[in-house]
Structure 1
Amino acid sequence: MADIGTVLTFRNGHRVTLVDRGADAEGAYLRLEHVLPRPGRQAGPHWHPEIAETWTVRAGRIRFRVDGTEIVAGPGDTVTAPPRAVHEFWNEAENTVMDHVIRPPLRHWAMFEFWSGLDNSGRTTASRLPRNPLALGLLWEYQDGYLAGPPVPLQRLIFGGLAALARRTGYARRLLAAADQG
């Protein structure tokens, strides 16, 4: 498990810092800081069965859509997506900084580690999606959620099947090792 203060940097300059993890009266949590140097889409429409996410903008401006409601958040504003809420967001300003709390954390930090490893080893597209379908299946598993739109059973069949194939063939182990070095 990564140490508090660990920073992951994507090729586009997006930095994710592990600020804290633990448990309090509300349960287990993961606290991250995101620094987003350039405007652009950060997450497409998706939802999590168990995870609630809260973002507090410290600098810049982010446009969120949570269950169809659009919210433009600036410094000091907080936005929450409860479990099962479809959410997505775009950074609208340079050098945006936001705090991000995930409850329960499940595999979210591992997702960012895996994803940044893929990105930094050139295994993602310009929009940061994995180039290899097996890697896409593994990333989908780490995010503990679903894309908005496609039926859940279809996502489980396709993405879950790709992740299972990656593990059965040993590709997951090799890819994780390569991503750790990337």
Structure 2
Amino acid sequence: MDGKTLTFRDGHSVQILGTLIDDDGTQHLHLRHEIPRPGRLAGPHWHPELAETFTVTSGRLRCRVDRRTVVVGPGETVTVHPRQVHEFWSIDPDSAIDHVITPPGRHREMFETWHDLDAAGRTNMYGVPRNPLDLALFWDLQDGYLAGIPVPLQKAILPRLARLARRRGRGNARH
């Protein structure tokens, strides 16, 4: 449902604004993040096919994209292209970011699953799933790879763990 807001235990909220479609048929998932406290938002990772655009509407965001670090403030935008390693931190309290993902992949489901895991107390203070099976489910939905871990290793282990997690019902945050 468009307009749905996912609020995490640390107060960070993600509003799903909807899926936009360009004249050429390209789909974009549009989100809005409200971040009450400074801190890490995402560790280093990359996507083979997705591009992401982050526009700061309030506060400041520190972004590292392919080893280049920039700080952006209100009205400024950072675009991450496919295959670029990226990670983010909010610098100021009460920051807000518009986030567009092209194509959406499974990111909507990833944010919803992440929220469910967090609401069930299955993430640590940084929002990372505690259980390796939950982490594999999260990884499977992010349409990308963790930086620093060989891709063949991720492809060999994490999909198997995600399948095991689903067979055990871990996709349901109550388990």
Aligned to 1:118: 117
Q: Which amino acid aligns with 1:9?
A: T
Once the two structures are superposed, residues 142-179 of structure 1 have per-residue CA deviations (whole angstroms, 9 ceiling, x without a partner) of 00000111110001112122112223xx22xx333335
Structure 2 distance, partners of 1:58, 1:4, is 20
Structure 2 distance, partners of 1:97, 1:126, is 20
Structure 2 distance, partners of 1:164, 1:153, is 17
Aligned to 2:106: 107
Q: Which amino acid aligns with 1:175?
A: R
Q: Which amino acid aligns with 1:24?
A: D
Identity of aligned residues (%): 54
Query: Higher helix share goes to which structure?
Result: 1
CA contact (8 A) 2:133 2:170 kept: no
Aligned to 2:31: 32
Structure 1 distance, partners of 2:172, 2:126, is 23
Aligned to 1:176: 171
Mark the runs of 5 or more structure 2 residues left unpaired by the alignment: none
Aligned pairs, how many? 174
Structure 1 distance, partners of 2:111, 2:149, is 23
Structure 1 distance, partners of 2:171, 2:160, is 18
Q: Which amino acid aligns with 1:163?
A: A
RMSD of aligned Cα (Å): 1.4
- Give runs of aligned pairs for residues 149-168 of structure 1, distance below 5 A: 149-167=148-166
Structure 1 distance, partners of 2:66, 2:52, is 13
SS at match of 1:72: strand
Q: 1:103 to 1:85 in 2, by over 3 A?
A: same
- Give runs of aligned pairs for residues 3-18 of structure 1, distance below 5 A: 3-18=1-16
SS at match of 1:177: coil
The 4+ residue runs of structure 1 with deviation greater than 2 A are 174-179
Report the CA distance between 1:52 and its aligned residue: 0.1
Q: Which amino acid aligns with 1:53?
A: E
Q: TM-score, normalised by structure 1?
A: 0.92
Q: TM-score, normalised by structure 2?
A: 0.95
Once the two structures are superposed, residues 115-162 of structure 1 have per-residue CA deviations (whole angstroms, 9 ceiling, x without a partner) of 010001101111111111111111000000001111100011121221
Once the two structures are superposed, residues 10-51 of structure 1 have per-residue CA deviations (whole angstroms, 9 ceiling, x without a partner) of 100000001120310461110000000000000011000010
- Give runs of aligned pairs for residues 128-147 of structure 1, distance below 5 A: 128-147=127-146
Aligned to 1:56: 55
Structure 2 distance, partners of 1:178, 1:164, is 15
